[in-house]
Chain A
């Protein structure tokens, strides 16, 4: 039995605005699900609906097989970690973690045991008597997590918990969250707009766009086989190069005189995509396309080359290439590139959906 089930869940606001038309999702026991999407895509709304902080206007929400649509947040047995931590400023770290248990009428000794156990797990033993004001950002984050863990809930909900931390701490906390979740085996729903966070944390990802689930799958599924141009651009950094084109008589017509064989597809308008890291530099005579370099970002381990493809006809779409190691092409230089067919992604120009037939 799935642990957390969203059946045809939807949200319409009182003013008639359809925030979420309909979403179906089955989450297994212990799974780490990340909801990811740009701001305004409804990911936080969905999370808050699961938490019980927003009403559900359509569909059913089941936690361990029990319908909880109309239950108060406290009665759903969930715990939530907020973006701004939302620690009670006048309570000590200990009281912050103990408050939920106290309200549930757990006896003092048990609270003490539980809070101390969680404090040890999170390395907060020394800080138990401090107020949130006296803690650093990372420590506050830990306390917020401790407050969620101490109750041993059925589901953890995280609402962009790392976005207030600096970059270094974010990476560290990311690893920590993952480890803790594995250790505790608690089903987790995690909202973020950061795709790196999403990719590294998730067992399965849900990419949301305007309240629709564009694609649900493991990070690698989404990376290898994005279901739409939206997912293709959202997952992976820098994002996938997408160029509108068409298939004509078994050839992909990239430009006036750039034709790539593509025998299995009927004539149609397409969007052709390739990830920057799958493009290769090659000798001029083997080149599929030429790139006119505009700017180079050297990151040490890799080099990002921004430029425009020379497709003839005055058609010069922007294109990014990601190369391993050091490269120093000059601005204005023309780079010969090979685009291996195995790395192609094709999308329907109308529906923006993936065209499954490969050209091999």
Chain B
């Protein structure tokens, strides 16, 4: 649609600028706040320009202990978050691609039922099954461990469904050609199917990584040992101060650090992500 109406252009630009301001302003405030000393926030005023404490604040947060009695530096929490996010992402992709492969390409009894059982687990996210899941994880002695953080979140109906749709567009003749070329199920999976769903895998990687990174409730429940705290949940902990002031400058540094990896993943995989969601490469 090409229209040339000046007032329309003006309004659309205005609304875009407004939108950008709404999104960017808090980030700006966080960035500025991370460069001021703790006392700067006592007055109740929010500074809008950089202070002179940037290096001290960032250094303190990253390498010394995070504030408010948390017994671990932020870099180790970042590492925990990263392990959990990557574990969830890779696990989800691996499991769902395999289940979609089974559902689409193999004929076995109750194949349709299997698919629908997977599908209705969409109705059972962690929040709903949190008590029984906790029980299971506790009984398996997986509290305060990476496996406890990752495994309960690893199954994904959404990803299975996406891969199923993707596999169903693979032409039957291609499957048959591979059979005649002597490719068994495993060869077919790695040589033909995986390369063909490359962009879908990338798109899911982005979505699932952000999902895993942003997990709050589950890590809060299964970890009591500071060594396994993730970044997102510790921000909350840093805010709940009983006595004295909240160390806003340190909180802001942590927040910015927590925002960084998802942004990097999205920016880095943008092209593949859009391709994976939009076009089919077949």
Contact = CB atoms under 8 A, between A and B. Distances in A.
Nearest to B179: A73
A90 B282 CA distance: 9
A83 B191 contact: no
Most buried by A among B177, B179, B195: B177
A61 interface: no
Nearest to B177: A86
B180 interface: yes
Given A86-B173, A88-B174, A72 B179 contact: yes
Contacts of A84: 171, 173
B192 interface: yes
Interface stretch (B56-64, B122-130, B181-189, B218-226): B181-189
Nearest to B192: A88
Interface stretch (A34-42, A97-105, A231-239, A258-266): A97-105
Interface string B156-176: 000000000000000101101
Most buried by A among B176, B198, B282: B176
Contact of B180 (A83, A89, A90, A100): A100
Contacts of A87: 177
A99 B180 contact: no
Interface in A69-123: 72-74, 78-80, 82-84, 86-90, 99-100, 103-104
B180 A80 contact: yes
B176 A100 contact: no
Interface in B212-258: none
Given A86-B173, A103-B187, A79 B196 contact: no
Interface in A33-74: 51-53, 72-74
Contact of B173 (A82, A100, A104): A82
Most buried by B among A72, A79, A90: A90
Given A90-B195, A90-B196, A99 B183 contact: yes
Contact of A103 (B173, B176, B182, B282): B182
Contacts of B174: 86, 88
Interface string A297-312: 0000000000000000
Contacts of A83: 173
Contact of A89 (B178, B191, B196): B196
Contact of A82 (B176, B191, B195, B196): B176
Given A86-B176, A89-B281, A103-B187, 19 more contacts: A51-B180, A52-B179, A53-B179, A74-B179, A74-B181, A79-B180, A82-B176, A82-B177, A84-B171, A87-B177, A88-B177, A88-B191, A89-B196, A90-B196, A99-B181, A99-B183, A100-B180, A103-B182, A147-B181
Interface of B: 171, 173-174, 176-183, 187, 191-192, 195-196, 198, 281-282
